[in-house]
Structure 1
Amino acid sequence: MTAQLNHTILEATDRDGTAAFLADLLGLEPAPVYGPFRVVELGNGVSLDVLQADGPVHAQHYAFLVTEEEFDQIWGRIKERGLPFWADPHHGAAGEINTNDGGRGLYWSDPNGHNLEIITRPYGG
């Protein structure tokens, strides 16, 4: 059997708000509660299990592979909400998207400072 990622834990200063933010922007179902988590189910069977942090959140990077149509929908929601976005992970190219590897990509931050990314082609593809 090949190992597959099943879930990862995402710390948040506001568990419910962060889960709603992610589900809304990514066009996913609302995140149900499972124990101490809000479980954001992604399309490939992997989940982001949002956990209320007891202290400072350690920002992480989460990248989502999406279709061209999904990219346009998510980008539209980012712009509708007036969220800043960048073409690069260091947030140097504000208001731009990238065309790396023949696809499109962009970065934005969630309310906890996590660096989120959508791409339409895997890197190196």
Structure 2
Amino acid sequence: MAHKRADVRVPISGEVVLSDNNGIRITTSARDISPGGFGVKNPSTPLEETLYQVRIYTETGKDIQLKATLVHKSRQTTGFKTSEINTRNQQIISELIAEFQTTDEFIKQIDQHDLLQQKYIDDDGNEISVTFDRDSDE
């Protein structure tokens, strides 16, 4: 069974600066974000599987700082899992998600990815079943 994340990522735009313990700084573009991680467009500089100090400068003017580790890389994107984040920065991410949830694009994603019927795997490998009733007012 393929692993799925329990957090839905929302699109963001802006610059991302990744810094490692060796003083290497890599700049790339943000792609998406969730409470548990974020994605970037692949930078031209190769990335190592290490802990990065991250600064995300969103186009909305919100500056997010956290620590993250690389978890996957595809042809076009690289995904990171948040390792450390303070309450202020987590709140900024929550606000970005809340803003996105008021858009028509959010509704399209729910339908396109059938997010209301997804099964997810938690960090311990246990299946989490998330089911919603589309007609419910609750």
Which TM-score applies when normalising by structure 1? 0.30
Which TM-score applies when normalising by structure 2? 0.28
Q: Considering only CA atoms, is the larger Rg found in Structure 1 or Structure 2?
A: 2
- Higher normalized strand content (fraction of residues): 2
